[in-house]
Amino acid sequence: MHHDRTPQTDPPRTAKVLEGITVLEQGTFITGPAAGMLLADLGADVIKIEQPGAGDPFRAFRGGLYSPHFQTYNRNKRSITLNTKTPEDAAVFDELVQRADVYIQNFRPGAAERLGAGEARLRELNPRLIYCAISGFGQTGPSAGRPAYDTVAQAASGFLNLLVNPANPRVVGPAIADSLTGFYAAYGILGALVERARTGVGRSVEVSMLEAMCHFNLDAFTHYFSEGEVMGPYSRPSVSQSYTLRCGDGRWVALHMSSPEKFWRGLAVAIERPTLFDDPRYATREGRIEHQEQLIELLGEIFATRTRDEWCERLLAQDVPHAPMYDTSEALRDPQARHLELEVVGRHPVMGEWRTVRSPVSFDGVRDTHVVPPPILGEHNDEVRAELRARDASATE
C-alpha cells in the first residue's frame, strides 16, 4: 500500500541508531577510546571512566588536560572520575556496570582482574553485559605480556614493511594500527549487541592490535598464500598504477589510473601526448607495470610544466581518476568536502568552540552534523551520580 509522506518543515532528526545503549569505557590512549567514540557517534551514551587527577594519559598537553590527541578520540562522551580503591567509588563503578550494556577496556592482560574489572566479576553483576577486552598481542600466548604501541603492531603484522620507503627507511603516517583496532572492537561489539537482542545474554569480545592489523593486511597475505608473492612497498601502487606528481607550483597531484584504457587515453589527451601510449613499453597494462619507473620520470617532467590547478582542470575534463594531494589545511575546503559538511562545530561550556570531522555514516540520507565536544576531566561526575541515585529511588518505590 502506498502512503503519502507529509512534507517536513523541520530538518529531519539524525538517526541515533544506538540510542538507549550505555557503554562504559575504561580506555586510555587510542584503541579503547576509538572504539568508544565510534559507538558514541552512533548515539550510545558512552561514559568514560577516568582516574582522578590526571585522567586518560592522552589528556596531558602543555600543562593542561585537553590534548589534540585526546580530543581526536573522545567526542560525544561523558567523563566520570573514579578511584575504585575507595569503597564509595567502587560501589559507583559496580552500579554503572549493572546498568550498562557494554564495557570496554584496553589494559594489558591480567590488569583488569587486579583492578576488580575482570570479565568474570562484571558478568556476575550483569549477565547481559558485553565485555570488550582490547590488547596488543592477545590475552594469552608467548607475547601476551609485551608492551604494544602502534608501530609495534604495524611491524609485527607485516604491514609496516609495505609502508616504509626503502630509499628513506623511516616510520611514516598516522596511528593506523591503534585506530583500526578500535574499529574492529566496535565491529565486534555491534555483532554481540545484535546477538544479545535474540538471546538476552552478553558475550566477551576480544581483539588485539596484532590480529586487527593482520586482518587489515589480508591482501598481502592472500598474495603470499595464493602465489607465493611477498609484496613490498611498491607492489600495489605498481599494479594499481598509482602516482604522486609534483606540479610546477610545488604542489602535488595524485593519479590512480588502474587498468581501463579509457583513463589512459584521457591522460594522453590531458598531457598533450596523444601517441605516448602507442609506445610498446606503455601500450599494455603489463607494460605499464613493468616500466612504471620510466613512466614516473616521464610524467614527472610533464607535470612540472603547469600548476596543480591547471592539471586538475585538464584531468577533470578527460575524466581521469585524480585528486589534488591536499594537506590537512586544504582538504576540508574542497567544494565536495564542503558540500558533504565534513567539518562540524560544537561548543564546549568551558573550552569554547570546537571543530572536528563528522561521522562518515548517514542514515536515511541525513548527515549527523551535531557533535558534543570531548569532556573535561570529571565533567559529568555529579550528573552520572545523580542518575544512579534517581534510578535507585525509582527501583525502591
- CB burial of 146-175 (b: ≥16 within 10 Å; e: otherwise) equals eebebebbbbbbbbbbbebeeeeeeeeeeb
CA–CA distance, 78 with 359 (Å, rounded to integer): 18
Dump the DSSP string for 303-365: HTTS-HHHHHHHHHHTT--EEE---HHHHTTSHHHHHTT-EEEEEETTTEEEEEE--S--BTT
CA–CA distance, 42 with 79 (Å, rounded to integer): 18
Map out the domains of the chain with their CATH numbers: 22-219+343-395 (3.40.50.10540), 252-324 (no CATH)
Of these residues, 45, 178, 319, 368, which one is catalytic? 178
CA–CA distance, 226 with 223 (Å, rounded to integer): 5
**Measured CA angle at 79 (ends 73, 84), to 5 deg:** 115
- pLDDT for 8: 46
**Measured CA angle at 174 (ends 171, 175), to 5 deg:** 95
- pLDDT for 394: 77
CA–CA distance, 389 with 297 (Å, rounded to integer): 70
CA–CA distance, 25 with 210 (Å, rounded to integer): 21
- Helix boundaries (H) for the chain: 31-41, 68-72, 87-99, 111-114, 119-125, 150-156, 176-199, 209-216, 218-227, 235-240, 261-270, 285-290, 292-303, 308-317, 328-331, 335-339, 381-396
- Cα 194 to Cα 58, 90, 207: the distances in Å are 32, 30, 18
Dump the DSSP string for 24-71: EEE--TTHHHHHHHHHHHTT-EEEEEE-TTT-SGGG-BTTBS--HHHH
Q: What is the DSSP letter of 366?
A: B
- pLDDT for 377: 98
CA–CA distance, 53 with 377 (Å, rounded to integer): 8
What sign has the CA pseudo-torsion 325, 327, 330, 331? Answer: positive
Q: Which residues contact 201 (CB under 8 A, 6 or more apart)?
A: 127, 128
User: Nearest to residue 358, comparing CAs of 73, 33, 41?
Assistant: 41
Average pLDDT of adjacent 10-residue blocks, the chain of 397 residues: 46 85 97 98 98 97 96 98 97 98 97 96 98 98 96 98 95 97 98 97 98 98 98 95 98 97 97 94 95 97 98 98 98 98 97 98 95 98 96 76
User: Nearest to residue 29, comparing CAs of 10, 8, 14, 48?
Assistant: 48
User: Nearest to residue 183, comparing CAs of 172, 173, 175, 195?
Assistant: 175
- pLDDT for 3: 45
- pLDDT for 83: 97
The pTM for the full model equals: 0.94
**Measured CA angle at 190 (ends 98, 357), to 5 deg:** 105
219 as an active site residue: the answer is: no
- pLDDT for 392: 80
